[in-house]
Amino acid sequence: MSGAGQTMEVNNVNVTVSAITAEGMTVSAGGSAPTTIAVGESAQVGGVTIEVTSVEGEKVKFDLS
């Protein structure tokens, strides 16, 4: 995802990235409270698991399962 403040639907779950930093991103899923996840870490967010794989400037890559 490129740039913060965007929402995308992944596997019928709305995922909103509210902040992207060099350390990771702040994300919410399915209406959950925002959670900050560092690069290389994963967290349970709104019933799904999100792992941040890389951050490059304003671009963040993550896996959702």
Q: What is the pLDDT of residues 20-60, one digit of tens each?
A: 999 999 999 999 999 999 999 999 999 999 999 999 999 99
First CA to last CA distance, the chain = 16
Whether pLDDT at 11 is above 90 = no
Q: What pLDDT was estimated at residue 36?
A: 98
Nearest-angstrom CA–CA distance, 24 and 5 = 14
At 38 the pLDDT is 98
Q: What pTM, to 2 d.p., does this model score?
A: 0.91
What pLDDT score does 1 carry?
83
